[in-house]
Amino acid sequence: MSVMRSVILAGSQNAWLRRRAPRFWFVRKSVSRFMPGETVDDALKAATALESKGMGTVFTYLGENIADAAEAAQVTDHYLNVLDRIRESHLKTEISVKLTHLGLDLDPELCYANLVKLIEHAGAASVVWIDMEASNYVDLTLDLYRRARRAYPNVGVCLQAYLYRTEKDLESLFPLGPAIRLVKGAYRESPEIAFHKKKDIDENYFALSKRLLSEEARHAGVRAAIGTHDPRLVRRIQEWTQSNNLGKNGAIEFQMLYGIQRTLQMQLAQEGWKSTVLIAYGDFWFPWFMRRLAERPANTLLVMRNIF
């Protein structure tokens, strides 16, 4: 991991910075590259525009590690309301949640009860995605995911290719016929548990993608979402898909974040691939924004440019 990436990720957890940075206009302006706005209305507007261009969307309301049960209930109510707004707008938008935003740090049972409310409200056709957070949450997240998936068809989980353990986790989930979003991983993890070199992460990502798209996975009913902006990996996976006679639709879906690789997102949709954009909104964006900077330290130039 580069020093720059490590410093930015450490900053994302700094409470002082978290309180102060969002007050600066140049930080707010830089964030707007990755968010259509802070409100649900902003997200709905962006989703309507993307859907009209043939793309799917997923909403995430920014926040994590909340402090009390009342806040977890508020977040749950917020998502319940958002699911209603999505339905009223005739959009196919799904949602993606962080379990620590639903109360995982306070009580896993409370968190599970909140998650179930969302899964039931979303309806069987709309998957509720669970983000994967730092490595100390992986076991708990997968436990709650397994429990939810046994009870409901419409729940998916994110797995991170930088963790050594992910290969085993993926295999162990197959019998559940899961919906899985594969990403590289956005947190600061030690070399004891995670790959650090881009080349190693990319190779593991490719190997895991092939498992996700394998005949065995399709037989098990896996929904495979390839969550990366990496054009080289996207191309390799497309080529692999085609040389294995998998159709563009159904078996595979590409998911990217709003504002990143927009041309590629559009190009995939135009070529007939399922292309989905994850739209984040809300005012608690600081740690999330810092993770976006860490993924591409050149993004800090954007912040600099906005200062001047």
Q: Given the structure tokens 């996207």, which residue do they identify? A: 234
User: In the complex, what is the shortest distance from the CB of residue 70 to ligand FDA, in angstroms, rounded to a whole number?
Assistant: 25
CB of 214 to ligand FDA, least distance (A): 21
CA distances from 207 to 37, 72, 86, 130, 202 (A): 36, 37, 35, 22, 9
Q: Out of 1, 295, 300, 306, name the contact with ligand FDA by CB under 6 A.
A: 295
Token code pair at residue 185: 């991983």
DSSP result, 230-250: -HHHHHHHHHHHHHTT--SSS
**Is 198 or 235 the residue whose CB approaches ligand FDA more closely?**
198
CB of 6 to ligand FDA, least distance (A): 14
Question: Using an 8 Å Cβ cutoff, are 253 and 274 in contact?
Answer: yes
Q: Which CB, 149 or 184, lies closer to ligand FDA?
A: 184
Instruction: Give the interface segment with ligand FDA, choosing from 72-80, 100-108, 167-175, 179-187 (CB under 6 A).
Output: 179-187
Q: Which is nearer to ligand FDA, 51 or 216 (CB)?
A: 51
* Closest alpha carbon to 185 in 201, 165, 203: 201
| 278 is a contact residue toward ligand FDA (CB under 6 A) | yes
Residues 142-171 touching ligand FDA, rule: CB under 6 A, are 158, 160
Rg (CA), the chain: 18
Q: Is 296 in the site for ligand FDA (CB under 6 A)?
A: yes
Q: Determine, following the binding rule CB under 6 A, whether residue 44 of this chain makes contact with ligand FDA.
A: no
Binding ligand FDA (rule: CB under 6 A), the pick from 55, 122, 183, 222 is 183
Task: Answer yes or no whether residue 227 interacts with ligand FDA by CB under 6 A.
Answer: yes
Measure the CA–CA gap between 54 and 268, rounded to whole angstroms.
10
Burial 107-129 (b: 16+ CB within 10 A, else e): ebebbbebbbbbbebbeeebbbb
Specify the amino acid at residue 262: R
Give the residue numbers marked as catalytic. 131, 181
Minimum CB distance to ligand FDA smaller for 245 or for 262: 262
What is the C-alpha separation between 107 and 5, in angstroms, rounded? 32
CB 224 → ligand FDA: shortest distance, Å?
13
Q: Which range of residues in 1-9, 18-26, 113-121, 178-186 is near ligand FDA by CB under 6 A? A: 178-186
- CA–CA dist 178, 145 (Å, integer): 9
Interface ranges with ligand FDA (CB under 6 A)? 131-132, 158, 160, 181, 183-187, 198, 227-230, 255-257, 260-261, 278, 292, 295-296, 299
